Structures are given as C-alpha cells and as structure tokens.
Amino acid sequence: MPQKVAVLGTGKIGEALLSGMLRGGWPPADLLVTARRADRAEELRTRYGVVPVTNAEAAKTADTLILTVKPQDMGTLLDELGPHVPADRLVISGAAGITTTFVEERLTAGVPVVRVMTNTPALVDEAMSVISAGSHASEADLAHTEEIFGSVGKTLRVPESQQDACTALSGSGPAYFFYLVEAMTDAGILLGLPRDKAHDLIVQSAIGAATMLRDSGEHPVKLRENVTSPAGTTINAIRELENHGVRAALIAALEAARDRSRELASGKKD
C-alpha cells in the first residue's frame, strides 16, 4: 500500500512529482504538501485534492519527506525539521549540490537520506532522475525513491561522488537544448524563414533525433555520419561548429555547472 509522502517547498518540480504520483495510483489523502504561501498551498489542495500541512506536521506524519527547496534554503528547512523527524523516516533531498552528509548531520542519527537530481522534463513525464544513497539508506529506500521518481520519467543510480557531474549534464541539461533551439531559430530567421516555421522545423528535428538516439542503439557519431555526406551541406555546417569551438565550449560549460554544484554544497550563494 502507498505510504504517506510529503513534498516540502512545492514548486514546479514538486508539483510535477505530485501529479505523477497521482497518475501512478497514490491516493490524494496520502500526499501531503507544504508551501511558503498559504494561497499556493490552497491552490494545490484544490487542483489535486492533496493535504496542505506545515513542515513540522509533515515531518511528524509522513513516511517519506521530499525536500524540493532551493539549495540556499535547505539549511533553514533542516533546522526547522530536525526536532520533528524520527529515525524511521525516509528523507529525499532534491536540491542541487546538497550532499547527503549535509542533510544527515542536521537530522536525528540514523535517518536514511537519499539524494536525487531530477530535471524539468518531469513536467511532461520525461525526467531523468539520478539517485544516490546516503550512509543509512537501504535498498528498500532506494527502490521507494525510484518508485516515486519513476512516475515522472527514468531513474538512474550513481555513487554520490558523481552527482555534481550528473547535475551539470542532466539537471541543467534541458536548458542547453532550449538554448540551442533558440539559436537555431534565430538562424532560421536570418536565412529567411518566419519564426513559427523555423521553430516547428527545429522542434520536430530535435524530437526525431532524440527518438533515434534513444531507440536505434547507434552511437551518436554513427547517426551524425549517416547525415553527413561528402562535400555536402551538413559537413560544411559541422566544420563551422568546430572552427568556432562549439565542442570545447560545451565541455567548459558543463565543467562550470559542475563547479557551481560543488559551490552550492559549500554554502556559497553568489
């Protein structure tokens, strides 16, 4: 039977999790939510039939607590929760850069903690959620976390030492693709296409390419080579991308995102 699950700090990702869990069969009465504003809590109650509570009530009542606040707010939330979280609760941290050790040190000794980095495609049930166990988390805790986040996409277990890299790659990843589509749309306009037609061409191409990457089993190099004929249009475009250092820029960008994730773990805000 479903356990009571509380989502604390219910923003867009938290709301996506709620809706996914409801589709997965969780009774609304077993889903608790907290929000900073009373009107937001009431909005969630009206929309989903879930139960708004305070953070302290969530800690006392729910079997699983999912912390979805911003990294810079995690310390304050944990200070509030600490006195109320029994050792048999599962705590799932969804804040970028926040380590399981950071969470464990602020809760009752022995509380199982799981760290998860998901991304905004949770809003359309296509999330990539990366899961790591804290020092007290069991196989059952990991499986329960996978059940929750599997309701909005795919899950992958990794050692926590790889979480910052995963945050850079998939947590922030959708933004890179949106940025690329934005740039390609501008290029389409420069080439003489109306914005709406350029947008439709690029979005469908992206969907098709992603589906091929997922379903074909082919390496991306092979798929690219299949489009790249000798002396053709594609190889000329690829040459310009290489001339402008696009590959190196992407690597540098992901390194910067990884480094920022590490900084968030240390409490640096700026």
pLDDT tens digits for the chain (270 residues)?
Answer: 458 999 998 888 899 999 999 988 899 999 999 998 889 999 999 999 999 999 999 999 999 999 999 888 999 999 999 999 999 999 999 998 899 999 999 999 999 999 999 999 999 999 999 999 999 999 999 999 999 999 999 999 999 999 999 999 999 999 999 999 999 999 999 999 999 999 999 999 999 999 999 999 999 999 999 999 999 999 999 999 999 999 999 999 999 999 998 888 776 565
In the prediction, which pLDDT does 11 show? 86
Helices 195-215 and 173-190 cross at an angle (nearest 10°) of: 140
C-alpha 157/C-alpha 93 separation (Å) is 14
User: How is residue 73 annotated by DSSP?
Assistant: G
Residues 6+ apart with CB under 8 A from 122: 13, 16, 17, 20, 129, 152, 153
- 105 contacts 81 by C-beta, under 8 angstroms: no
Residues 6+ apart with CB under 8 A from 42: 52
- 152 contacts 24 by C-beta, under 8 angstroms: no
In the prediction, which pLDDT does 1 show? 46
Query: Which two structure tokens, joined as six digits, stand for 147?
Result: 């059940």
In the prediction, which pLDDT does 244 show? 96
Amino acid at position 150, single letter:
G
Question: Positive or negative CA dihedral for 194, 200, 201, 206?
Answer: positive
C-alpha 230/C-alpha 235 separation (Å) is 7
In the prediction, which pLDDT does 12 show? 87
Query: Which two structure tokens, joined as six digits, stand for 270?
Result: 């700026």
Query: Which two structure tokens, joined as six digits, stand for 20?
Result: 């996914």
Prediction pTM value: 0.90
C-alpha 59/C-alpha 76 separation (Å) is 15
- 92 contacts 116 by C-beta, under 8 angstroms: yes
Amino acid at position 114, single letter:
V
Query: Which two structure tokens, joined as six digits, stand for 125?
Result: 């049930």
In the prediction, which pLDDT does 270 show? 58
Half-sphere exposure of residue 18, counting CA atoms within 13 Å on the CB side? Answer: 29
C-alpha 89/C-alpha 112 separation (Å) is 7
Taking the CA atoms of the chain, what radius of gyration do you get in angstroms?
Answer: 21
Residues 6+ apart with CB under 8 A from 184: 198, 202
In the prediction, which pLDDT does 265 show? 74
Question: Positive or negative CA dihedral for 2, 91, 173, 155?
Answer: negative
